[in-house]
């Protein structure tokens, strides 16, 4: 699948954009804990190129991002795109689908039972935004070092924490991480913390419009409930 991912990036123009994004990082001459790349993917084109990879992106996007992460790391090292990059863990890939298949199973509807939304895959959702919070910061990535000075992992980029979709802030930054080599506590190197913007939006299903218009749906009792969306 790594080979097919590289072929798709080359044919879709994504590889050229990736090289351009790498150039901006390399020109800055500043070492980052995390190098973040957004890759647009067309599920239909990928499925025609390789059905296994296309299905993987649609239903296992986090694992699929790791495939592109590996491909991008090899490309950076082979072409010497970012001199400061040391480890594959420093690359954060966000797959951004251009669309999803127009099938009911890809539509997230919180008014339909059963919910069955246990998988961490892509869904489409439509609703009405009734409230929006202010834009705040969250940790996209952080670098941790072993506190034991004699440990090989007391320097370098061995321990990189990257925010994953659905994770809380504490999953990325905490004070109880320990070194896998010597079991000493890990301490964050604050100089390398990478911040991003997040916004909380309160939404409600679009079907509420029918209720507000006074339409009767032959149900004696019904309830409209909001749901929270995190925009990052």
Give the pTM: 0.86
CA 173 to chain centre: 16
Give pLDDT, residue 206. Answer: 81
How do residues 44-67 score in pLDDT, each as one tens digit? 999 999 999 999 999 999 999 999
Answer whether residue 120 shows pLDDT above 90. no
Q: What spatial distance separates the first Cα and last Cα of the chain, rounded to whole Å?
A: 28
Q: pLDDT tens digits, residue range 154-200?
A: 999 999 999 988 888 888 998 899 999 999 999 999 999 999 999 99
What's the rounded mean pLDDT across residues 131-154?
95
CA torsion through residues 104, 95, 66, 109, sign: negative
List b or e across 109-127, with b for residues whose CB sees 16 or more CB atoms inside 10 angstroms.
Answer: beeeeeeeeeeebbeeeeb
Q: What 8-state DSSP symbol labels residue 185? A: B
Mean pLDDT over each residue of the chain, to the nearest integer: 90
What pLDDT shows up at residue 69?
96
Q: Which residues contact 173 (CB under 8 A, 6 or more apart)?
A: 139, 142, 161, 188, 193
Per-residue confidence band for 113, with pLDDT thresholds at 50, 70 and 90: low
More confident residue, 114 or 70: 70
């Amino acid at each position: 699948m790594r080979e097919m991912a590289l072929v798709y990036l080359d044919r879709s123009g994504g590889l050229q954009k990736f090289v351009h994004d790498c150039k901006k990082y390399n020109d800055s001459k500043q070492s980052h804990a995390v190098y973040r790349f957004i890759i647009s993917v067309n599920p239909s084109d990928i499925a025609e190129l390789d059905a296994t990879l296309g299905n993987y992106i649609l239903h296992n996007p986090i694992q699929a991002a790791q495939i592109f992460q590996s491909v991008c790391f090899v490309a950076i090292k082979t072409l010497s795109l970012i001199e400061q990059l040391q480890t594959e863990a420093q690359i954060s890939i966000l797959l951004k689908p251009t669309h999803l298949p127009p099938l009911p199973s890809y539509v997230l509807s919180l008014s339909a039972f059963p919910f069955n939304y246990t998988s961490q895959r892509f869904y489409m959702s439509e609703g009405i935004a009734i409230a929006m919070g202010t834009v705040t910061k969250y940790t996209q990535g952080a670098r941790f070092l072993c506190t034991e000075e004699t440990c090989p992992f007391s320097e370098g980029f061995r321990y990189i924490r990257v925010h994953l979709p659905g994770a809380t802030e504490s999953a990325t930054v905490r004070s109880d991480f320990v070194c896998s080599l010597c079991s000493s506590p890990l301490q964050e190197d604050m100089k390398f913390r990478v911040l991003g913007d997040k916004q909380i939006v309160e939404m409600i299903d679009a079907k509420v419009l029918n209720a507000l218009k006074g339409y009767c749906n032959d149900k004696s009792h019904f309830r409209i409930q909001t749901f929270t969306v995190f925009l990052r």
